[in-house]
Amino acid sequence: FDMFFLAFVERLFRPSFRKDDFVLGKKLGEGAFGVVYRVSLAKKPSSKREGDLVLKKATEYGAVEIWMNERVRRACANSCADFVYGFLERSSKKGDEYWLIWRFEGETTLYDLMQSKEFPYNVEAMILNEVQDLPKGLERENRIIQTIMRQILFALDGLHSTGIVHRDIKPQNIIFSEGSQSFKIIDLGAAADLRVGINYIPNEFLLDPRYAAPEQYIMSTQTPSAPSPPVATILSPVLWQMNLPDRFDVYSAGLIFLQMAFPGLHTDNSLIQFNRQLKRCDYDLVAWRKSVEPRAGPELRRGFELLDLDGGIGWELLTSMVRYKARQRISAKAALAHPYFDREGLLVLSFMQ
């Protein structure tokens, strides 16, 4: 059977919805390309006050975001928030809007969690139900961060193996799923764009400069112009190997790793400052470390100490993710197999999940 035929049949047997089926609740977010609400089904008012679904009313990029979510649903469902349905809502007043529906995964993003003084212990309480054998301190924090990083990389590997580059990986787009008790990726709004445009020139509005890798083009400009979507969203393995567009996401994930290790970098403003310093060091993390470590305050020193645990295996992974040249960055799959995740203690944690 053809993949598109299967998709069609699958869709035929899924419930379909229209605008009037939903009751709008609290607004969860508002970006340049859409508004996100918590919603419930009108027919089935949930016993809880708040809805168990999420609605994004999207403009231009909605069509591709629906397509991306459909694809993720079938190919790597556990990587991203659970997508329910998407449709076009025609309106003469407001212009056409794409409505996208997901299951409500939970209240908190990794960003929210990182803003707490308790981080990473507040995450530990969510992902581990057994009392830790380690006293509070660096080693325990490192283990929690390891678990978060493994979940992020696992989700990312799923996307990349499916042929999707997210391009907007950041703590705001990583949600804690209460159902699966693990982190999932959300917001495939920017994922599509690079495959749509000729030469894959990214739309600058779609890129978050705080987490974006330095390369301006994630596909070489020599690449023959892209076919139109949705065919364009499946990159040929040859083009993929030539350009390694997935390493853009790996860079962003590396920055999240760094942010988690250094409490002083938890806020976005501090990350902007870090990016300036890193740029001055030509995106060389080792050079950056040399420049800041001699005059580092206790917070910065603590971050280095955490990454230096177990012979510096964390620092080794971090520096393989955050590199100037995409080609020199580790892949999400290879990162998962990195010895950083390979310790006895971690095996125990993974069984507990």
| Binding stretches for Mg ion (CB under 5 A) | 173, 187
Shortest distance, CB of residue 103 to ligand ADP, whole angstroms?
Answer: 6
Residue 168 bears catalytic tag: yes
Shortest distance, CB of residue 133 to ligand ADP, whole angstroms?
Answer: 32
Closest CA to 24 of 10, 7, 42: 42
**Among ligand ADP, Mg ion, none, what does residue 306 contact (CB within 5–8 Å per kind)?**
none
Biggest alpha carbon–alpha carbon distance for the chain: 63
Shortest distance, CB of residue 36 to Mg ion, whole angstroms?
Answer: 8
Stretch that binds ligand ADP, among 24-32, 40-48, 88-96, 314-322 (CB under 6 A): 24-32
DSSP letter for each residue of 199-225:
GGPPPGGG--TTT--S-S-SS-TTSPP
Amino acid making up residue 150: R
User: Is 173 a binder of ligand ADP (CB under 6 A)?
Assistant: yes
Point out the residue whose Cβ comes nearest to Mg ion.
Answer: 187
CB 219 within 8 A of CB 239: yes
Contacts of 292 (CB under 8 A, 6+ apart): 277, 300
Q: Choose, from 21, 157, 168, 187, the residue flagged as catalytic.
A: 168
**Among ligand ADP, Mg ion, none, what does residue 175 contact (CB within 5–8 Å per kind)?**
ligand ADP
User: Is 29 a binder of ligand ADP (CB under 6 A)?
Assistant: yes
How far is residue 296's CA from residue 11's CA, in Å, rounded to a whole number?
56
CB 175 within 8 A of CB 109: yes
Closest CA to 54 of 99, 17, 113, 90: 99
User: Is 110 a binder of ligand ADP (CB under 6 A)?
Assistant: no
Subset of residues 192 to 231 that bind ligand ADP, contact rule: CB under 6 A: none
The only residue of 172, 233, 259, 331 in contact with ligand ADP, by rule CB under 6 A: 172
CB 190 within 8 A of CB 168: yes
Shortest distance, CB of residue 27 to ligand ADP, whole angstroms?
Answer: 9
Name the E strands within 178-335: 182-185
Residues that bind ligand ADP (CB under 6 A): 28-29, 31, 34, 36, 54, 56, 81, 102, 104-106, 109, 172-173, 175, 186-187, 189
Q: Which residues are catalytic?
A: 168
